[in-house]
Amino acid sequence: MRWVFYSLLILNLVYLVWSLVDLGASSVEPVQSHQTQPSAPRELTLLEEAQGGQPAGNGSAAPAQRQRLCPVVGPFDTRGDGEQALEVLADAGYQGRVRDIEVAKERLHWVYIPPLDSREQSLRTLRELQSRGVDSFVVSEGKDRNAISLGYFKSEDSARGLRSKMNTAGYPAEIRETAEQVTEYWVYLDSSSVDDDGRALRRFLQSRQGLEADHSSCNGPTPEIGR
């Protein structure tokens, strides 16, 4: 009977130990993980929203002021003619000044033989051309000195025809576009000097045949007056 007693004693001890372990496990609260969780993204504010709806980079700079234009009257052949006209307009209250402008009057096509090695060679070639009835002359000064001029043409086709004819005959003719430069005088008026809606200026132009009116920058460089 002794072994039965010891068996029951061991079973009671095992049961007691198991009960204590189970009770301790159930009384422990679960530990929360301290792993860092990704936070929700913050709401971003666009720069243009922070600036009251103005797109970044555009700013609030005021648009560039328009360039003020003033009337110009001309052309006059001499500065004196321009100054006399300015005196007449001054009686109507206009203020201004006379300015000279370089104008290309007429564009032409120049047919020529480029400068030769010496003037003697140019003169010898000139005599050959004239003996063949070609109207020509030797340029005596400037950057084209010793070149042989064969003629000026308004029509580019006519200039090309002569060049082709000279090339066929063995002369190295070329074409250059050129123009006659002349000086014109224009009166530049300050439109803010009078307040008559331009009536005096219109009367002046009606009384002077051959004059034109245009507009140009009041403070800008001298423009080429358009015809």
Rounded distance between C-alpha atoms, residue 185 and residue 20, angstroms:
121
Tell me which of 56-60, 111-115, 197-201 is least confident: 56-60
Higher pLDDT, 194 or 92: 92
User: What is the overall mean pLDDT for the chain?
Assistant: 75
Residue-wise pLDDT for 49-93, tens only, equals: 334 444 444 444 444 445 677 788 889 989 999 999 999 988 888
Q: What is the pLDDT of residue 109?
A: 94
Higher pLDDT, 194 or 159: 159
2 pLDDT exceeds 90? no
Quote the longest CA-to-CA distance of the chain.
Answer: 164
Residue-wise pLDDT for 6-55, tens only, equals: 566 666 666 655 555 554 444 444 434 344 333 334 333 333 333 444 44
Q: What is the pLDDT of residue 149?
A: 96
Task: Enumerate residues 6+ apart whose C-beta is below 8 A from 71.
Answer: 189, 191, 198, 201, 213, 214, 215
pTM (predicted TM-score): 0.42
**Complete domains list, the chain, with CATH:** 69-103+182-217 (3.30.70), 105-180 (3.30.70.1070)
Rounded distance between C-alpha atoms, residue 113 and residue 198, angstroms:
53
102 pLDDT exceeds 50? yes
Tell me which of 1-15, 83-97, 162-176, 179-193 is least confident: 1-15
